Structure 1
Amino acid sequence: MSALRKFAIAPLGMALALALTPMAEAAVQPLDQIVAVVNKDAIMQSDLDRRVTQVRQQMAGRNIPMPSDEVLRRQVLDRMITEQIELQMAQKANLTVDDEQLNRALRDVAAQNDMSLEQFADTLEREGMSIADVREQVRREMLISQVQQHNVASQVRISDREVDQYLDNAGSGANVQYHLAHILVAVPQSPTPEQVEAARHKAEALRQQIVTEHADFQQVAAGQSNGGEAFEGGDLGWRPRAELPTIFADVVPGMTVGEVSEPIRSPSGFHLVKLVEKRGDTQQMIEQVKARHILVSPNPNRSDEQAKQLATQLHDRIASGEDFATLAQQYSDDKGSALNGGELGWVNPGESVPAFEQALSSLSKGELSQPVHSRFGWHVIQLEDRRQRDVTASNQRDQIRRTLFQRKANEELEAWLQQIRAEAYIDNRLEDDSASANNGGQG
């Protein structure tokens, strides 16, 4: 993501004056051209060039067909304009990303690519990018995420009633998942009838290209979609039925794989959705374990070695016949379970720290572990029982809650992005003269 230079009125005026002086014109390099103005910030030609290069590399890595250079540049600049508005909002709200957050995010990106941070930096350098550029890109994306979280996601609530209503309506299809691709032809906020009709006509023409003329959906999306996933070929990924945007919910379940919908109207514009793949629901079984433990933690008066010794003594006393629950109540530093004699109840996979879970996996029913070390201290663990549990229903409710939240947040985000663009001054100099220097247009 490119850096955007900010210009005060005086420096910009001086630069223009020099450019108009014949002697100075021969002595200086040509000025970097402004391609857009967003409120008081300028987006430069060099910024756009760098961003277009990055997008081309990303699309090539995903084997997404490229639109023409002119179309791609317009698409990229449109995205940069929206991002710049959000970054201005972050600055106004005094939002920041500190070095620790940024380094942690970069390590996560490197780990997702199965690399250390050093290996990731070396790979970037070989591909003509610097770790400094990527740090700046990640920093900007984190700021934008904070702005969206504050203005959109934090306002979204999903009630138990909404989950219940969804389950009542979805029935047996609640766990069906759909792999979708999407094209949005946007309309301005409060569009005129002519603008709505123009957008509808464009959406119908794009569908005709894809269905009748066999144009590649990804390439059309990359070149024509106003959706946030345009440079991914319009790919929305896999979505459970609950996560389908509301406007798609009645259309997608009736589509066949490979089908492209008729234009679907929303406040943001007209949508074309393609059903790429579909998969059904499956039963979800897990093994739960019932266990109890005594935790002995180091403290200012007890070293780690002394904690281990006490845990070993407690293990031996239990093995000799003393009551586990009584010793847990007396000695365990896990106060939450100590009151219940060390009982943890039924534990799902992944709910315990790795060392604890690994110890449980090796125990037989009724068996007592040797002292087990974790970051909390030393544990004496007893496995009481194992069982297979169908968690389809509970997992389904959790998934539905998450995906209903995501659906609502996505819809609110789309409307909010449209609103902030409408309220901004945007001079998009790649657009036709008749569309440039607009105040509050689509830019």
Structure 2
Amino acid sequence: MLSVVPSPNRLSHGVRSGLRTLLLSSALLSAVAQPVLAQTVGDDDGIGAQQLNLPKDVTVFGKSDPNVRKATAIVNGRIITGTDVDQRLALIITANGGKVADDEKERLRVQVLRNLIDETLQIQEAAANDIKIDPAEVNQSYERVASNFRQSPAQFDGYLREKGSSAASIKRQIEGELAWSRLQRRNIQPFVNVSEEEVKSVVDRLNAAKGADEFRLGEIYLSATPENREQIVANARNIIEQIQKGGSFQAYARQFSEASTAAVGGDLGWIKPGQLPSELATAAADMQVGQIAGPIETVGGVSIIYVMDKRKVLTADPRDSLLSLKQLSVLFPQGTTKEAASSKAAAFAAAVKEIKGCGQANEIGGKIGADVVDNDNVKIRDLPPQLQDILLNLQVGETTPPFGSITDGVRVLVVCGRDDPASANAPNPDQIMAQLEEERVNKRARIYLRDLRRDAIIEYN
């Protein structure tokens, strides 16, 4: 069953926001949307048994306890320890605010081991093709990750240790992503061709679809065979459940997606329905910003998709308008009661009603003891959804209703200027060609990894 549900609010601060900066590709990912009716995806029961020519009545000789989890593995001689698994798992748990049930941790542990096996195979195959990743390059990427937390590498080392992970775990993941990316560029990309006719066909379809919806999508792709389809679908449903509980879509995409976009949190960028596989296009057509859908059966596996944003094809979006704003804010002293905060907020609201344009904002702000901050070049779509809807309808000189909380105080925004977006440009053939090439490289990379798994010698301990 394909379900489409609203994704939980993603605006967060502090350490959790910092970790998401490591695992996410976009900064503001929150929206409230209504559920979309469920859709049903067909089943292919019995196909696996037919392909393998299995008997209908199966007798199992020996014991196999599915509850016994193998914690470590040796992949072509390279040991993956229980510590490796624990440290990578700690990153996922931290990205989810530490709120992961014990039974879910065990399922994640098994999936993390699978991911580490794939990562090891990718690094080994790159090395076999004389692709070596310079440790200095890995360290540079690690420094950028640390800077996202506003920490030095040494400080970030300590933070990771506190969370049960390590610098070595993240550096290993960085190495794997760099190695696999370069291997694809050498062994796959040179043999992928997209003709000018194919690009022209896409351009023609886009021009014909002017004004239709296009989406910025995130995808988690899990490969599946007829034999393991049920297990993969169950895994996908568990991932969706964790995201619904507040987990980071981008964190799960980075850890579990088998698509090349995993390194950027599953971000597919701006996509038109005609550029998507029909299964994904059908699902996305009925979704709103902030919703997640899946598992969706696609060629070779299943996908989970998340609508990060939405706009009209080749049409200027008013949410791309740039605003010049003044923000007036009043903080509440620590220990302020709800009643006292409400009273102070009411007085603040009455005072800001007198503002007639930005020229009066500083004067009135001074009278009521408010902090006044200028903010230029603020794009509407980068603001919380509740404020987007309000600001879209405000004229220069008008103010928003007061908003805030006891913790953050009360504030208003005054619109001082507005630059509307220019008309959307015609589709860019170079970008379209790059996207088509990316899709084909991605497909061949999955086949490449499948073959590496088949040829690997893996011992579980």
Asked which structure has the greater RCO (Cα within 8 Å, sep 6+), the reply is 2
